[in-house]
Each structure stands twice: as C-alpha cells, then as structure tokens.
Structure 1
Amino acid sequence: MPEENYEKDWDKYEQTIEQFVQVIAKNMNLYGITSSVGRLYGTLFFSEEPMTLDDMRDALEMSKTSMSTGVRTLADMKMVEPTFKRGIRKDLYQSEEDWYKSFTSLFGNRWRKHTESNIEEANEAIEELEKIYQNTDSLELKNKIEADIERLDYAKNYYHWLMKFIRVVESGEIFKYIPKNEK
C-alpha cells in the first residue's frame, strides 16, 4: 500500500472515531455529565490500553485537575474503573466495557436520589397541609386541602412504583423482561 493511501486511511479512521466520541460527549448531558467528561469517556473507551491522568491530559489537552475530576465522576457512575499494570506506579484507568452495567448503575443512582427526595417532599407537604387543615375554619380551604392531599397521595403512589422500577433496573432483573442485545 502506498504511503499516501496509508496516511489517508489512518486520517479517515481517526476522524471517524473522533466523530463518534463527539456523539458520546454530546449525549452525556442526558446523564447530567458535561461534554468534556463525555469526551474523556470516549477517549478511554477507544483506548486499547489503560490510561494515566497524564495520558488523558495529553490526548484531550485539558488540565490534570479536570482529568482527575472527570475520572472521579465517571468512576462514581461505574463508567470507568481503576486498573493495575505491573511496573507502572501511576494510577491507570479504563472504561467499563459493559454499558448495560453502567446504565443501570447511573440510572439507579440518579433516579433513586430524585425519587426519594420527591417522596420526602410530598410527605412534608401533606404534613403541613394537615396542620393547616386542623387550624383553619375555612370550609373552602379545607376542601382544597383534601383535594390536594389526594393529589399528593397519588404522586407518592407513583413514586413508590418508580422505586420498584428503579430496584428492577439496579438489580439487573430488567434484563429478564428486556434482554441485553448480544453481539
């Protein structure tokens, strides 16, 4: 193969991979992740070897602090994991290859936190409305409070159902109903 074609092929390859990394980075906002952290994940995903923070910094031209923060974010979401390689003293990281595992962890963590908060807020609102109900002489306000407590109970029932769904996702039981696509 002539040298010119060889270089063109590699350039085209690098452009194609970079384009997909950009798509990953752009879509990470669905998970509450910045595009720079998404680019970091994409870089690790396509790396054939685990990378140090210095390797990541060089590849992405970002500060080591940004790399460290990004890796910590991705590790918390189980999208990146530390690894060991004999003879290398620096911390090494690699992407989690099981996107299903990453998704279930990320989905569970994010949705659980918000759903638990919503249940707590609904309980507090009901408690406060019940106090107002006990202390008011207004029949109109009492009727409004009764209707609103019914709405809040409906919301709580939904959130409790959502917690069941979150547990099904987190436990991996979801794959009984919606199997993973195998290669």
Structure 2
Amino acid sequence: MGLYHLDEVRQAAVQKIRKRVIENIGRNMDLYGISISTGHLYGLLFFADKPMNLDEMGQEMRMSKTSMSTGVRTLLDYKMVNKVWEKGSRKDLYEVEYDWYQTFADYFDIKWRKSVESNILVLRKALEEIEKLMKEHEDDEELHAVLQADRAKMREAEAYYRWLDRLIDTFVDGDIFKLVPKEPPEDHS
C-alpha cells in the first residue's frame, strides 16, 4: 500500500521521517562525488512506491527536467538506479537499485579501477624513464642515488596499486562477502 492511501496526518508523519533520511543521503553522497541534489533524487527514488519518470521526479523535487535528467544520468552511470520498462508508458522510468552492496561494489569498480589503472600506467612509464636515465648517466653516482631512491618509492607505490586492483576484484566477483559477510536486515517486528 502506498503512502497516498494514508490520511494527511499519517502522510505528514511518514514524509517527515523520509525527508530526514533523504536529507542525510544527499549530504553523504559527496563521498561518491555526487551532488546533494542528485543524492536527494536517489533518496526520492529509494522511497518511491513505483518507478518514476523525469516529470514526476521534477514535480516531486521542484527541479527542472534538465536537472533531473543530469542527476538520473549520474545515478545510471554509477549503477545506483536502473531504467525500467513498463507496458503502456512512453516515458523512460527509473527505479533505485536496492542492493546497496552491489551498488557499492559497482561504484568501487567504476571509480577506483580507473584511478588504479591510471596510477599504474604513470608509475610504469616513470620507472622506464628512470632506467633510461640511469643508463644514459652510468657514471653519475649522485644522480643514480637519487634515481634509485625514487625507483624504490615508485615500486612500493606500484605494489600498493596492484594490491588495490586485487581488492577491487574481490568486490566485483563477490569474494569480499566471504571475508566480510553481508548483514541481514534486523527484524524489529
């Protein structure tokens, strides 16, 4: 049963609770590099009784269709919402991805993997340049000492990024949940 089947007093009480949660989701979305308004949009979809289109979201949030579209696109890119099809509807509909574990794993893979790959590439190129410079200046002991120290630091960083890449793999393939099992929802009934 949806919220709109309740009388005004009960609707207002439920809306107050939801608003508090939505506000908090919005504030915490900066962790994901997502704006507060897009976080609020996620919160709206989280509590929606059915998939919503951009017009419905804009009406509910009092935002422009362009802002809604940008926010939804961001949430789609991070796999935090899904586009759904509904018979008889000509407009795109969206619903939140309720599996927060999967959402986090997808985000971790999307954002962190790109960073890890970029850092590994830069470090490998820098290590190649160090080797080349050391060969070109074989007799320069002072330069070799500096380059050897830099090479050791870079190899340490590269080892860290290879480890981080393996950590990301544990999220993607679900092995992380063998080490840190998912929490079952508490039943307070």
* Fold conserved between structures, TM > 0.5: yes
User: What value does the CA root-mean-square deviation take over the aligned residues?
Assistant: 1.3
- In structure 1, distance between residues paired with 2:70 and 2:12: 30
Q: How much has 1:151 moved relative to structure 2?
A: 1.1
Quick one: which amino acid aligns to residue 145 of structure 1?
Answer: L
- Where does residue 26 of structure 2 map in the other structure? 25
- In structure 1, distance between residues paired with 2:20 and 2:58: 19
Q: How much has 1:70 moved relative to structure 2?
A: 1.2
- In structure 1, distance between residues paired with 2:106 and 2:183: 18
Q: Counterpart of 1:142 in 2: which secondary structure?
A: helix
Q: 1:5-154 alignment to 2 at 5 Å? A: 7-136=8-137, 137-154=139-156
- In structure 2, distance between residues paired with 1:98 and 1:166: 18
- In structure 2, distance between residues paired with 1:119 and 1:65: 37
- In structure 1, distance between residues paired with 2:63 and 2:130: 51
- Where does residue 3 of structure 1 map in the other structure? none
> Normalized against structure 1, the TM-score is what?
0.92
Which of 172, 181, 184 is the aligned partner of 1:182?
184
Quick one: which amino acid aligns to residue 155 of structure 2?
Answer: D
Q: Counterpart of 1:50 in 2: which secondary structure?
A: coil
The runs of 4+ residues in structure 1 deviating greater than 3 Å are: 6-9
Aligned residues: 178
Q: Counterpart of 2:135 in 1: which secondary structure?
A: helix
Q: Deviations over 1:20-70 (max 9, x none)?
A: 101001111101111111111100010001000100111111111111121
Q: Counterpart of 2:88 in 1: which secondary structure?
A: coil
- In structure 2, distance between residues paired with 1:146 and 1:26: 45
- In structure 2, distance between residues paired with 1:170 and 1:9: 42
Q: Counterpart of 1:51 in 2: which secondary structure?
A: coil
Q: How much has 1:130 moved relative to structure 2?
A: 2.0
> Which sections of structure 2, spanning at least 5 residues, go unmatched?
1-6
Q: How much has 1:138 moved relative to structure 2?
A: 2.7
- In structure 2, distance between residues paired with 1:46 and 1:7: 18
Q: How much has 1:128 moved relative to structure 2?
A: 1.8
- Where does residue 4 of structure 2 map in the other structure? none
